[in-house]
Amino acid sequence: MDIMQVAGVGAAALVAEMAKSTWETVRAVVARMLRRDGERGAEQVLMLVDGARQQLIDSPESERGPVEERLRGELLIQLAAFLQRHPDAASELQRLTEQVEGDSAVAGARTNVHHNTNSQVVISGGAINASGGFHYGRPEVGR
């Protein structure tokens, strides 16, 4: 098991969950996992995580991408260091990540479409095969 890979996926999942209503549940699982470092160590890391979440929530929507990227990097470092001290926690973090990703898949896609005058939006839960191409416009009648 590659600790950096587990930490990276875990960091991405945590940042994705921070702005959702399910955050408190995810945070509780993270807090239990972090207690391997003792109460004081867990509190210190949770303060960093809570601060990161507040930064994300306070950031304007137009700046969320760069903020999320920076927070993923910071959490990656914290999680990788934690997993090096407690490699047994990697499977717990993986399970949390899989649960979070599974919950997101069930919830469906989140799509925002703006200023799409005279256009169509195609949303797919999987691959789209358009071997004949996409054709937009009025259907031809009576050919």
In a domain? residue 20: yes
Range of the domain at 51: 3-101
In a domain? residue 120: no
| Number of domains forming the structure of the chain | 1
In a domain? residue 136: no
In a domain? residue 119: no
**36/4 Cα distance (integer angstroms):** 19
Question: What tokens appear for 94 in the block?
Answer: 């993986």
Confidence of residue 131 (pLDDT cuts 50, 70, 90): low
pLDDT exceeding 70 applies to what percent of the chain? 71
Q: Is the sign of the CA dihedral 40, 42, 48, 51 positive or negative?
A: negative
- Pick from 124, 96, 104: nearest CA to 30: 96
In a domain? residue 109: no
In a domain? residue 134: no
The stretch 3-23 carries a mean pLDDT of 88
In a domain? residue 89: yes
pLDDT digits (tens, 9 = 90+) for 43-87: 988 998 999 999 999 999 888 899 999 999 999 999 999 999 999
Q: Is the pLDDT of residue 114 over 70?
A: no
CA 1 to chain centre: 21
In a domain? residue 139: no
